[in-house]
Amino acid sequence: MRTDMTITPGPVELARTAAAELLSQARAAVQARGRFDLVLAGGSTPRALYALLADEPSLRADMPWSRTHFFWGDERHVPPGHPESNYRMAHEVMLARVPIPEANVHRIHGEQPDAMEAADAYEAMLREFYQLKDGQMPRFDLVLLGMGADGHTASLFPGTQALGEQKRLVAANWVEKLNTWRLTLTAPVLNNAVSVAFLIAGADKAESLRAVLQGEWQPEVLPAQLIRPTTGRLLWLLDEAAASLVQRNGS
Ligand code: 6PG
């Protein structure tokens, strides 16, 4: 696993840096395989990145929209039009504003009343889409991830059932502290990607980021530590505020 870290002055530059990285991965994937399989992160941090890709003329023109397939790393247990929906956020600021074939958008159906059924359905879609045999996992070109101030990533929250899931591709994960089900790709799937990029901004993430990167290995408490791509590249895209407690080389 190759690990890189880029620290930008603030969230605007973070979005620009992330867009450049994403386009580079997209070009490489389309050149190699004719397709770019991208897993979107939820939450608020990636919103600026998605908006930039849709609105900045040079980025919009460079993005191979018709050859990009969009997946989600996790979803809330809500309908697609719900304010909490990760799909809704990406759709509003990006997907609805660019020329993407509907067949290229693979959202998690958070509206399904039974969260387990929603997880099973997304897993079945992935197995069908990638023609997976038993034991095989999808290999996404780029997985975007955020990190909560508690060290969670995707919907892998501290002390929750899905942290230890090694067989399933997609899990329904009960999150006691939120009193809700979440739907999430599992760590083995995330770690099977060609490239994984964390986008983390803000001082409220500084302590947990320090602990994740430089503290003891305790993934039950800090699930972001589970993300160690098997053969792929791990990229930490941070702004100064989030990285303020991270010991730099030579500092
Ligand atoms: C979600 C995300 C989650 C998010 C972090 C950071 O569904 O909320 O997938 O893992 O990336 O909570 O969220 P912010 O970017 O809003 O800080």
Ligand 1 centre from 146 Cα, in Å? Answer: 5
Whether the CB-CB separation of 232 and 28 falls below 8 Å is answered with: no
Structure tokens at 116: 């387990």
Domain CATH code at residue 158? 3.40.50.1360
Ligand 1 center–CA 135 separation, angstroms: 29
* 225 band by pLDDT with thresholds 50, 70 and 90: very high
When the pLDDT of each residue in the chain is averaged and rounded to a whole number, the result is 97
Tokens of 161: 């059932």
Q: Is the pLDDT of residue 203 over 90?
A: yes
Question: Is residue 214 a part of any domain in this protein?
Answer: yes
Q: Is residue 138 part of a domain?
A: yes
- Mean pLDDT for 16-44 is 98
Number of domains in the chain: 1
Q: Which residues contact 73 (CB under 8 A, 6 or more apart)?
A: 39, 40, 41, 42, 143, 144, 145, 154, 184, 185, 190
Q: Is residue 197 part of a domain?
A: yes
List, for residues 168-195, the tens digit of each pLDDT value: 999 999 999 999 999 999 999 999 999 9
pLDDT at 2: 85
Which residue range is the domain that position 135 belongs to? 2-239
118-127 confidence digits (pLDDT tens): 999 999 999 9
- The answer to whether residue 246 is domain-embedded is no
Flag whether 73 is in a domain.
yes
> Does the beta carbon of 90 lie inside 6 Å of ligand 1?
no
Atom 12, ligand 1: residue with shortest CA distance: 148
Give me the long-range contacts of 201-205 (CB less than 8 A, separation at least 24).
201/10, 201/11, 201/14, 201/45, 201/238, 201/239, 201/241, 201/242, 202/11, 202/45, 202/239, 202/241, 202/242, 203/241, 203/242, 203/244, 204/149, 205/147, 205/148, 205/149, 205/241, 205/242
Does 251 have pLDDT greater than 80?
no
Centroid of ligand 1 to alpha carbon of 5 (angstroms):
19
- Of 12, 28, 68, whose CA–CA distance to 194 is shortest? 28
Q: Are 118 and 108 in contact (CB under 8 A)?
A: yes
Tell whether ligand 1 has an atom less than 6 A from the beta carbon of residue 153.
yes
Residue 231 has pLDDT above 60, yes or no: yes
Q: Give the pLDDT score at 213.
A: 98
Q: What is the pLDDT of residue 1?
A: 80
Residue 211 lies in a domain: yes
- The pLDDT of residue 171 is 98
Tell whether 244 is covered by a domain: no
pTM: 0.98
- Cα(243)–Cα(233) distance, rounded to whole angstroms? 20
> Is any atom of ligand 1 closer than 6 Å to the C-beta of 8?
no
Q: Candidates 74, 173, 182, 208: which one to mutate for ligand 1, based on the most atoms within 8 Å of Cβ?
A: 74
Is residue 11 in contact with ligand 1, taking CB distance under 6 Å?
no
Q: What is the DSSP letter of 132?
A: P
Our answer on whether the CB atom of 44 is closer than 6 Å to any ligand 1 atom is: yes
* 249 occurs within a structural domain: no
- pLDDT digit string (tens) for 18-30? 999 999 999 999 9
User: What is the per-residue pLDDT for 248?
Assistant: 87
What confidence category does residue 249 fall into, taking pLDDT thresholds of 50, 70 and 90? confident
User: 47-55 and 11-33 are packed helices; what angle lies between their axes, rounded to 10 degrees?
Assistant: 60
Quote the tokens at residue 157. Answer: 């929250």
Model pLDDT for residues 137-151, shown as the tens digit of each residue: 999 999 999 999 999
In this model, does residue 155 exceed pLDDT 90?
Answer: yes
What letter represents residue 215's amino acid? G
Q: What is the pLDDT of residue 250?
A: 62
The Å distance, Cα 43 to ligand 1 centre, comes to 4
Region 234-242: what's the mean pLDDT? Answer: 98
